[in-house]
Amino acid sequence: MIENFLKGDRLVAARVISMVENDLPEGREILDSLYGRVGGAHRIGITGPPGAGKSTIVDQVVLRLRKDGLHIGIIAADPSSPFTGGAFLGDRIRMADVATDDGVFIRSLATRGNSGGLPRTAEDICDVLDAFGKDAVVIETAGVGQTEFEIVHAADTTIVVLVPESGDSIQAMKAGLMEIGDIFCINKADREGADRAASVLRESLELKGEASWKPPVLLTIATEGAGIAELVDRVRDHRKYLAEHGLLESKRKARIESKIVTAVRERIWNRAYQRFEQDLPSKVERVYLTRITPTEAVEEIVEGLGAERS
Ligand SMILES: Nc1nc2c(ncn2[C@@H]2O[C@H](COP(=O)(O)OP(=O)(O)O)[C@@H](O)[C@H]2O)c(=O)[nH]1
Ligand SMILES: [Mg+2]
């Protein structure tokens, strides 16, 4: 499988991604053996409110990158449908321009649960596409809830897409989106108020103090491809900036660190939980009857785990 993967077999890549997405041991094994090849791809996150035009922008950006001969992976993390738990097909269809191109690999993910968060496995899937030889991996998320912070962690460069109507609310906008953007797009600039939204946004970004990277604010009309060339230029600038300041490296290390911490936590927790799970109802009962306090119950459990180990 690995041999065919390295030959560029897309079906095999899709299978590897499924294994990784479903957190199968085989998936982890394959990812481990490919790990030496991870690290080259530029990870570009794109977030913003639903309907702002993120997928349309991705489509346009990817078309442009393809013209330069780059190979691209796309991960679309859509809000899951409350009825089926599966991802909407809309994005895949709208990305029709790139969907038939062999140099592009698109993967739609169902976000699990209602949090709208980026699935934990999205970073692993990025790693797979990176090892598959993609020059850039674009991750699209609906900008709701937790996603903002997760995308920043997963991406080297984060693009925040807003629409002209955001102008009135930019000042009141969740600090979240303001903090995370490396590049801002006011998309649907064919509509009223785009210039004003852009200048309000620029002003608010000015107030943020003197970071060495000033997030540019661009106007785009994604449906017409307007502003996309500049967007791609700014993405390249940002990548260059990261490289020159050692930030690609530090971001990568931060991802490795949290990957390790998360995995260790999970393993230790699972093991510990198995050991005290059966005593839990009796502890609950004793706390309920106020024989012991919740804190005492915790202490008993933790001490019990320690005693068993030694
Ligand atoms: N008028 C206008 N419509 C746009 C523009 N960009 C995207 N759209 C439309 O907005 C709708 C939502 O776009 P989509 O890319 O799916 O948004 P997403 O939910 O952020 O991914 C679609 O009907 C697009 O055709 C634009 O620049 N101007
Ligand atoms: Mg979309």
115-142 tens-digit pLDDT: 556 777 889 999 999 999 999 999 998 7
CA–CA separation, 56 and 173 (whole Å): 23
Whether residue 46 contacts residue 138, with contact meaning beta carbons closer than 8 Å, is answered with yes
Q: What does the pLDDT look like over 39-61, one tens digit per residue?
A: 999 999 998 888 889 989 999 99
Q: Which residue has the higher pLDDT, 110 or 88?
A: 110
The DSSP output letter for 255 is H
Q: Which residue has the higher pLDDT, 225 or 87?
A: 225
Helix axes 147-154, 247-276, angle to 10 degrees: 120
Q: Indicate if the pLDDT at residue 90 is higher than 60.
A: no
Q: How far is CA 192 from CA 108, 169, 196, in A?
A: 33, 15, 9
Q: Indicate if the pLDDT at residue 180 is higher than 90.
A: no
User: What residues does 110 pair with on adjacent strands?
Assistant: 78
With b meaning 16 or more CB within 10 Å and e meaning fewer, what string describes 93-117? eebeebeeeeebbbbbbbbeeeebb
Can you give the pLDDT at residue 191? 94
Number of alpha carbons in the 13 Å side-chain half-sphere of residue 179: 10
Can you give the pLDDT at residue 17? 93
Cβ of 56 less than 6 Å from ligand 1: yes
Q: Which atom of ligand 1 is nearest to the CA of 187?
A: 27
CA–CA separation, 195 and 203 (whole Å): 12
Ligand 1 atom 1, closest CA: 188
Q: How far is CA 190 from CA 187, 217, 224, in A?
A: 8, 16, 10
Q: Indicate if the pLDDT at residue 230 is higher than 80.
A: yes
Cβ of 222 less than 6 Å from ligand 1: yes
Burial (Cβ within 10 Å: 0-12, 13-18, ≥19) of residue 150: buried
Ligand 1 atom 9, closest CA: 53
Out of 62, 92, 163, 223, give the residue to mutate to test ligand 1, the one with the largest number of ligand atoms within 8 Å of its CB: 223
User: What residues does 217 pair with on adjacent strands?
Assistant: 184
Q: What does the pLDDT look like over 131-178, one tens digit per residue?
A: 999 999 999 987 665 566 788 889 999 999 999 987 666 655 656 677
With b meaning 16 or more CB within 10 Å and e meaning fewer, what string describes 243-275? eeeebbeebeeebeeeeeeeeeeeeeeeebeee
Cβ of 141 less than 6 Å from ligand 1: no
Band (102; pLDDT cuts 50, 70, 90)? confident
Cβ of 223 less than 6 Å from ligand 1: yes
Percentage of residues of the chain with pLDDT beyond 70: 82
Out of 46, 55, 56, give the residue to mutate to test ligand 1, the one with the largest number of ligand atoms within 8 Å of its CB: 56
Q: Which atom of ligand 1 is nearest to the CA of 49?
A: 20
Q: Which residue has the higher pLDDT, 104 or 85?
A: 104
Cβ of 58 less than 6 Å from ligand 1: no
Highest mean pLDDT among 30-34, 94-98, 107-111: 30-34
Confidence (pTM): 0.86
Q: How far is the CA of 48 from the centre of ligand 2 (A)?
A: 9
Dihedral angle over CA of 183, 186, 189, 193, nearest 10: -140
